[in-house]
Amino acid sequence: MDTSNPIRIVLLFFALAAAAGAMVFMVFLELLPESCESASRSSVGLLVSLTLGAMILFQRFL
């Protein structure tokens, strides 16, 4: 990666943040309501909570 231009790095960070935000938006808008239709709300909530906890642990310790 070319680190000689700091503006490119800042733009890359903002572009990646926008892409991550779009993915999170799609999960909450499309996938969670569909999963609540096919499974119980408590099992979907438990799975989302466990996944979020695992993501936070991986980010913190890896």
pTM over 0.75: no
Q: How many helices (H) and strands (E) does the chain have?
A: 3, 0
For residue 15, what are the domain limits?
6-61
User: Does 50 map to a domain?
Assistant: yes
User: Does 1 map to a domain?
Assistant: no
pLDDT tens per residue across all 62 residues of the chain: 566 788 888 999 999 999 999 998 998 898 888 888 999 999 999 998 999 999 999 999 98
User: Does 40 map to a domain?
Assistant: yes
Count: domains in the chain: 1
User: Does 22 map to a domain?
Assistant: yes
> CA angle, 33 as apex, 29 and 34 as ends, to 5°?
110
